[in-house]
């Protein structure tokens, strides 16, 4: 599937920078990082044939809502646009399972593998988490090692640790 036009916006937030991208189907990417140019390069690698355009008002509002949530977390992150991540059938199943993990909760890669009907696919689940194009909205940061420890995170272990700590405080 090729994407002809992709609206893009990038804004500073408490996590550093957030880049958001959408097309007519919905949100394609929400990427946190330290450098807006590196985020644009990541987006280009994910969508090499996309023609990038400035975000329209709906996408700008969606990003503003997400950044506002990051300042004062309360429950789930609002996404006013539909999620439309691009991935394999297995990745889609994993990402859907991740969306069922509520703020303040966590599970292991093995738990997710069981949830998608592939109990021996823990490593494949970890790869699907690393390929997740919609950080925060598809909460792969809520997946931990079987021993409860924090393992790698595509967007930095410190971001993962901070997100988990904030979500834990919501449920305290």
The domain limits of the chain are 5-71, 89-170
* pLDDT above 90 (res 42): yes
At residue 68, the pLDDT reads 86
| Record: fold of 5-71 | Double Stranded RNA Binding Domain (3.30.160)
pTM for this model (two decimals): 0.89
* pLDDT above 70 (res 1): no
Catalytic, out of 10, 62, 129, 140:
140
118 contacts 124 by C-beta, under 8 angstroms: yes
* pLDDT above 80 (res 54): yes
Dihedral Cα 31, 32, 33, 37, nearest 10 deg: 40
Is residue 129 annotated as a catalytic residue, yes or no?
Answer: no
At residue 2, the pLDDT reads 52
Report the percentage of the chain scoring pLDDT > 70.
94
At residue 104, the pLDDT reads 85
Q: Which helix (H) or strand (E) segment is 168 a member of?
A: helix 157-170
The residue that leads in pLDDT, 94 or 14, is 94
Bridge partners of 32? 18
Does domain 89-170 match CATH 3.40.50.300?
Answer: no
At residue 5, the pLDDT reads 93
Q: What is the mean pLDDT of residues 96-124?
A: 95
At residue 75, the pLDDT reads 66
User: What is the Cα 72 distance to its own chain's centre?
Assistant: 18
Mean pLDDT score of the chain, rounded to an integer? 91
* pLDDT above 70 (res 3): no
């Amino acid at each position: 599937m090729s994407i002809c036009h992709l609206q893009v916006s990038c804004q500073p937030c408490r996590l550093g920078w957030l880049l958001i991208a959408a097309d007519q189907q919905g949100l394609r990417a929400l990427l946190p990082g330290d450098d807006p140019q590196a985020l644009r390069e990541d987006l280009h690698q994910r969508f090499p044939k996309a023609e990038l355009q400035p975000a329209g008002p709906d996408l700008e509002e969606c990003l503003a809502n997400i950044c506002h949530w990051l300042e004062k977390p309360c429950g789930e992150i609002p996404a006013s646009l539909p999620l439309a991540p691009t991935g394999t059938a297995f990745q889609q199943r994993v990402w859907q399972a991740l969306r069922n993990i509520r703020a303040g909760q966590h599970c292991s890669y093995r738990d997710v593998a069981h949830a998608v009907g592939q109990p021996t696919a823990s490593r494949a689940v970890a790869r699907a988490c690393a390929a997740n194009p919609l950080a925060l909205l598809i909460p792969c940061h809520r997946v931990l090692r079987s021993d409860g420890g924090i393992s790698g995170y595509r967007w930095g272990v410190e971001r993962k640790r901070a997100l988990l700590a904030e979500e834990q405080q919501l449920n305290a």
